[in-house]
Structure 1
């Protein structure tokens, strides 16, 4: 494993040296072979295994310091309270990827916490990040999962665990906020140069590299959130310290994949005011970008920063429309504008399962409404919508079979339902990882039929709809 240490070279103002502190009777229970191959990591080789488990020291491993707006309030200093950045490796695409261990033990930023993660949260992040990757949503990814016999105390004692995850970068909006509000201009400039070199090198060849980079950050963030909305994903804790400067979904905590369609759904039961409700995610993304842009008020004029931010909404809307056009088998944005608002109103009224509906719509055949009408109470309202939809589909030049095949390639049969994660966690806590692996298999190939796993495509039972996740997750 060719481990680099580019971020560590920035110096002590950016981080504190830390090491993985292995758990008691720790075991490697799952690893991602395709991702390991992509990163040229032989995770089973003894030297690599010792480094990644914390048995051998990584001299330049560290925990990052940053700030952040958390539920609207500013915290001047945060940081990796339970995470260790081991370094960077280069993928087969030529890009650098961080290796970051979650639950590695206390750090200088733990704020009196134990720096540990529980098996429950590590399994949830492993499943979610790999599911998002399979859905083509930019995301951190899971490389390895370790369990242990060490008790970690949350509401009750739980099994301690560690998750080795990768991402193109773990630099957050909060990194820039930390140096800006601390008045550390030299370090802020240093961080800007670092991001230009490692994340946005193409911008170095433009007339205004910083302006070009920030424009790209805005657009990546807009596209990421458009994808969240299209697949029905809710992050749960959209604080600025949880937003990636490289435009990836990171920090999976109390997330959720929408089941019954509810625009104002709140997956995080710690979010009592619904600040990060599903329908509010696009607006929160813009709010977070506003916070980020303030950090460059000494580098660019106000009009320049406003112009950069004004790219957000059209980029998000354009990308969302394109995604929904594919989900619905349409061939123009005008058709989306005509059909989508009334469909979403119907789904909300009927509390129809979002993913199930679009999967069934992918199987829709001309003149056959029965499959979809059986899913609703107000058959007349849906029948009226399907008649309009059918007329539009008939106007398209492609054969219905081609349209259906394309829809099936973007509308997943399998999503990470909360009750499925719950069942997999309970089994793993008993030492049985088979349900976790079965679930992981369909989530990493969510568009395939997997007839042997049809049970994992079913709607949640009533008890499964009432399961709560919070920031302790």
Structure 2
């Protein structure tokens, strides 16, 4: 494994030297072999085991410092309170990928906390990141999961764990906020140069590298959130310190995949005011980008900053439209804008299962409405919508079976339902990871039938509908 340390070269103003502090009786319980192969990492080698377990120190490993707006309030100094950036490796695509260990022990940014992670939160992040990757949503990825016999104290004693994850980068909006509000212009410029070199080198060839880099960040963020909305994902904690400068979904905490269609659904039990409700995510994305571009108010004038932000809404709307056209098997945006609001209104009124409905719609042959009507109470209302949908499909032409196959390739049969994650965690806490592996198998290929695992596609049982997730997860 050829670890590189480009970020460490920026100096002490950007991070503090830290290392993995092993847990008691730590053991590797799950790894991602395809991702390891892609990154050129031999998870079975003795050297790799020693490095990732913390038995052998990694030179130049570090924890980053940054700031962030948390639920709207600014925190001037945050940082990796329980994470260690081990370095970067080169993937088979020639790009650099960070290796980052979560739950590695206290750092200078732990703020009197223990710097540890619990098994349930590591499992939730492992499952979510792999599910999102399979749904083609830009995301960090899980490489390895470690459990232990160490007790970590939250509301009750829990099993201590560590999660090794990868991403194109771990630089957040909050990195720029930290140096801007500290008045550290030199460091801010260093960070800009670093991001241009490592993440947006194509912008260096333009007349205005910074401006064009920010436009690309805005567009990547817009496309990421459009994908969230299309697949029914809610992040739960959309603070600026949890937003990636490379446009990836990071920091899975109290997230959720929407089951019953509820536009104002709040998955995070700690979000008392519903700031990060599902329907508010696009607006919060723009709010966060506004916080980001404000950090460059000494580099660019107001008109330039406004023009940069104006790329957000059309990019998000265009990408969302494209995704929903695919989900509905339509080719006309006019048809989409006519049919989609009416459909979502039906799903909301019926509290219909979002993913199951679109999967069922993929099987619709233009004749038999029964399977879809069985999903609702107001059959007449949905039947009328299906008639309008059928007319639109017939106007656009195309072979129903071919369109159905394309829809099945974008409408998952399997999503990460909260009760499934809960069951996996309960089993793993007893030392049994078979259910986790079974769930990972279908989440990594969510569009396939997996007849032997069809039970995992069912709606939550009654006990699973009242489960709550909070930031402490």
Tell me the TM-score normalized by structure 1.
Answer: 1.00
CA–CA distance in structure 2, aligned partners of residues 396 and 453 of structure 1: 36
Where does residue 30 of structure 1 map in the other structure?
A: 30
Alignment partner, residue 226 of structure 1: 226
CA deviation digits over 1:169-204, x for unaligned, max 9? 000000000000000000000000000000000000
Cα distance in 2 for partners of 1:194, 1:398 equals 49
Map 1:196-345 to 2 at 5 A: 196-345=196-345
Measured against aligned partners, the alpha-carbon deviations of 1:409-455 in whole angstroms (never above 9, x if no partner) come to 00000000000000000000000000000001000000000000011
SS at match of 1:149: coil
User: Aligned to 1:298, what secondary structure does the other structure show?
Assistant: coil
Per-residue deviation, residues 15-46 of structure 1 (Å, max 9, x unmatched): 00000000000000110000000000001100
- SS of the counterpart of 1:29? strand
Per-residue deviation at 1:339? 0.3
- 2:152 corresponds to: 152
SS at structure 1 position matched to 2:149: strand
User: Structure 1 stretches of 5 or more lacking a match?
Assistant: none
C-alpha displacement at 1:393, in angstroms? 1.2
Partner of 1:427: 427
Greater alpha carbon shift after TM alignment, 461-470 vs 394-403: 394-403
Other-structure match for 2:136: 136
Could you give the per-residue CA deviations for residues 125-156 of structure 1, whole angstroms, max 9, x where no partner exists?
00000000000000000000000000000000
For 2:471 and 2:70, locate their aligned partners in 1 and report how far apart those are by CA, in whole Å. Answer: 12
Match of 1:91 in 2: 91
Cα distance in 1 for residues equivalent to 2:213 and 2:10 = 20
Please give the secondary structure, in 2, of the residue aligned with 1:241. Answer: helix
Provide the secondary structure at the position in 2 that maps to 1:164.
strand
Deviations 1:301-350 (A, max 9, x none): 11000000000000000000000000000012111101000000000000
1:297-446 equivalent positions in 2, closer than 5 A = 297-446=297-446
When the two chains are superposed, the root-mean-square deviation of aligned CA atoms in Å is: 0.4
Whole-Å Cα distance in 2 between the matches of residues 84 and 332 of structure 1? 48
Once the two structures are TM-superposed, the CA of residue 397 in structure 1 deviates from its matched residue by 2.7
Query: Aligned partners of 1:47, 1:434: CA distance in 2, in Å?
Result: 27
Deviates more, 1:329-338 or 1:407-416: 329-338
Could you tell me how far 1:59 is from its partner in structure 2? 1.1
Q: Distance in 2 between matches of 1:271 and 1:455?
A: 31
Q: Work out whether 1:176 is the aligned partner of 2:151.
A: no
| SS of aligned partner of 2:13 | coil
* Residue matched to 1:188: 188
1:163 aligns with 2:156: no
Q: Which residue of 1 aligns with 2:105?
A: 105
Which residue of 1 is the match for residue 453 of structure 2? 453
Q: Alignment partner of 2:337: what SS?
A: helix
CA distance in 2, matches of 1:333, 1:4: 46
TM-score after normalising by structure 2: 1.00
Cα distance between partner residues in 2 of 1:462 and 1:392: 37
Distance (whole Å) between structure 2 residues aligned to residue 33 and residue 111 of structure 1: 35
Q: Alignment partner of 1:13: what SS?
A: helix
Distance 1:249 1:107 in 2: 23
CA distance in 2, matches of 1:102, 1:395: 52
CA–CA distance in structure 2, aligned partners of residues 149 and 329 of structure 1: 50
Once the two structures are TM-superposed, the CA of residue 396 in structure 1 deviates from its matched residue by 2.5
Q: Hey, what's the Cα distance between the residues in 1 that align with 2:109 and 2:127?
A: 27
Deviations 1:188-231 (A, max 9, x none): 00000000000000000001000000000000000000000000
1:159 match: secondary structure: strand
What 5-or-longer segments of structure 2 have no aligned partner? none
Distance 1:47 1:416 in 2: 34
- 4+ residue runs of structure 1 moved beyond 6 angstroms? none
Q: How many residues align?
A: 473
Counterparts of 2:369 and 2:206, CA distance in 1: 54
